[in-house]
Amino acid sequence: MPIQVLSEETINRIAAGEVVERPLNVAKELIENAIDAGATAISIEIRDGGISLIRVTDNGSGIPADQIPAAFTRHATSKIRTESDLHSLTTLGFRGEALSSIAAVSQVEMITKTRDSLTGVRAATLPGTETGGEDRIPLDLEEIGAPDGTTVIVRNLFYNVPVRRKFLRQPQTEAGYITDLVERQALSHPRISFHYKIGGQEKLHTTGNGKLKELIYRIYGREIAARLIPISTDLEEYHLEGFLGRPEVSRASRNFEICFVNGRMLRSDLLSRALEEGYRTDLMQHRFPFAVLHLELPPEQIDVNVHPGKMEIHFSDRQRVFDFINEAVHSCLHKVELMPDATVMTAREQQAERKRLQEEEQKREQAAPHPEPFEARRLDRVNRDRSLEADRLAGLTLREETAAYAPADSPSPDDGETLPRGGQQNQQ
Ligand SMILES: Nc1ncnc2c1ncn2[C@@H]1O[C@H](COP(=O)(O)OP(=O)(O)OP(=O)(O)O)[C@@H](O)[C@H]1O
Ligand SMILES: [Mg+2]
């Protein structure tokens, strides 16, 4: 084959592959755009694991009519002007790539209205239309009535890239990934109300009242919510806030070490290691903490431009961040007595009791063959029920603690229901 320059369509679709690998990435980008637009309420609906439909609606700023084509243009963004703006970034997006990438591999419809304009605009991509050598996606635009904010509907993901579609998992599995994502986004922004539906069925509805512990209760259930230690620490310009799970709710994997940096969801080995180091005297080997932590630090001390999916960051002073988290976690864990019966137990007895609880948990997990994510969630719930029953039998009541976090529309702790709605929502 002779060497040829690829068509703009092909280039766009290849580039889109960096941003959109599966429905999860579409949902993440659309939710991040809604957060960046200053929304206080975001609703998300998916069908067929997000493959046939993902709809994200926000009540944020909206996009002015004359800027809609630019929103769908590759490398066009309202969030930075020059590379130096990356050092003072306060938004989740900055590449100007998400919408154009999504539109290159799906059928997109957007309805948007700013507060200042009287009417909204509906924009729809025109599948199969050549771009004519520009990076701009061709759009059909019409004026319509709409509420303030933006709705983006993404249909038929990868309809024009069958090879990618083939690599998608079962809709149920793809939906599970998106559920995890939405839960984490809700934890990352407790002041935003999230409403999430799968196939028309409500899976999560958060109030946006800012109470992180209430969110943890809804998402991870009563057993964990009743065993949390609040943490709130400052060191000069660093601020750490959130909840640490007591050592007895340790996990078999790092999946529940949930850290946000300046509201950004990410993976960070540094933060995980610092957190684990803080727990070092309290957890057995191969056990990992449950924690939801928000770290705030000046934007110039982090670099977010290191991962195409914006999932990793670099810290300019790694050692300082590590020491801050490690010491904050360690001293928080040891400031409070970890055992309910602390007054009658010696330190050695407490340690033995913790070890026994962790061993029990470990045995339970080992008894099950390596579960799939969905199965793991189901087992988590079963274990939660079991331990709740054990608590009940031991006469240890969690009612007082949980009543404070029970959302008004959840089953009351007295009605024999062992799970909050949040604990039941994860299975499709
Ligand atoms: N829900 C929304 N509300 C208001 N404006 C939006 C919304 N979604 C997109 N935009 C506008 O469209 C632009 C392009 O969005 P896009 O997601 O493609 O890029 P980005 O968010 O700037 O960067 P990134 O590629 O890192 O996400 C944004 O910069 C923003 O101005
Ligand atoms: Mg974006």
**Ordered mean pLDDT values, 10 residues apiece, the chain (428 residues):** 86 82 97 98 98 98 97 93 89 94 96 97 84 70 97 97 94 98 98 97 97 97 96 97 96 96 94 97 94 97 87 94 98 74 59 77 65 54 58 41 36 32 39
Question: Which one-letter amino acid corresponds to residue 366?
Answer: Q
For ligand 1, mutation pick of 29, 36, 121, 310 (most atoms within 8 Å of CB): 36
pLDDT (0 to 100) of residue 108? 97
- CA-96 nearest atom, ligand 1: 19
What distance in angstroms lies between residue 319's CA and the mean position of ligand 1's atoms? Answer: 34
Residue 108, strand partner residues: 154
For ligand 1, mutation pick of 33, 85, 313 (most atoms within 8 Å of CB): 33
C-alpha 123/C-alpha 119 separation (Å) is: 13
**What number of other Cβ atoms are within 10 A of residue 132's Cβ?**
8
Q: Is the CB of 59 under 6 A from ligand 1?
A: no
pLDDT (0 to 100) of residue 398? 36
- Do β-strands 257-261 and 291-296 pair in parallel, antiparallel, or remain unpaired? parallel
Residue 180 main-chain phi, psi, to 5 deg? -55, -45
C-alpha 401/C-alpha 34 separation (Å) is: 34
Topology at the third CATH level for domain 227-336: Ribosomal Protein S5; domain 2 (3.30.230)
What distance in angstroms lies between residue 311's CA and the mean position of ligand 1's atoms? Answer: 17
pLDDT (0 to 100) of residue 377? 62
C-alpha 42/C-alpha 56 separation (Å) is: 7
- CA-97 nearest atom, ligand 1: 25
Residue 340, both tokens: 């309910």
For ligand 1, mutation pick of 28, 99, 154 (most atoms within 8 Å of CB): 99
Which residue's CA lies nearest to atom 26 of ligand 1?
93
Q: What distance lies between CA 288 and its chain's CA centroid?
A: 19
What distance in angstroms lies between residue 71's CA and the mean position of ligand 1's atoms? Answer: 6
What distance in angstroms lies between residue 305's CA and the mean position of ligand 2's atoms? Answer: 14
379 burial (CB, 10 Å; 0-12 / 13-18 / 19+) is middle
- Do β-strands 149-155 and 53-58 pair in parallel, antiparallel, or remain unpaired? antiparallel
- Of the bound ligands, which one is closest to the alpha carbon of residue 79? 1
- CA-152 nearest atom, ligand 1: 1
Question: Which one-letter amino acid corresponds to residue 377?
Answer: R
Largest CA distance in the chain: 82
Cβ < 5 A residues, ion ligand 2:
33, 93, 98
Residues 333, 337, 338, 339, Cα dihedral to 10°: 170
pLDDT (0 to 100) of residue 385? 58
- Of the bound ligands, which one is closest to the alpha carbon of residue 32? 2
The answer regarding whether domain 8-205 maps to CATH 3.30.565.10 reads: yes
All structural domains of the chain with their residue ranges: 8-205, 227-336
Which residue's CA lies nearest to atom 21 of ligand 1?
93
**What number of other Cβ atoms are within 10 A of residue 413's Cβ?**
19
